[in-house]
Amino acid sequence: MTLISCKTCNAQIAKEAKACPQCGATNGEAYTAVRFAGLIYLALLAGLFYWLWGVFTPS
């Protein structure tokens, strides 16, 4: 378990913690995986839309 400093109160918190248990400030580093997964999901939706556009557009 890696510890980092809270940006608000400088308390030592786990890197995976969503919020600081001492002051309640959110931890931006915990959301990195969620942001990455969201970008992948958005890219897949864009690819699906592009494919469907090609299928339903008459040539």
The tens digit of pLDDT for each residue in 14-37 reads: 988 889 999 999 887 777 777 888
E strands of the chain, at which residues? 3-5, 12-14
pTM here? Answer: 0.52
Q: What mean pLDDT do residues 1-20 have?
A: 89
Let me know if 2 is exposed, middle or buried by CB neighbors in 10 A (0-12, 13-18, 19+): exposed
> How would residue 13 be classed by pLDDT, with cut points 50, 70 and 90?
very high
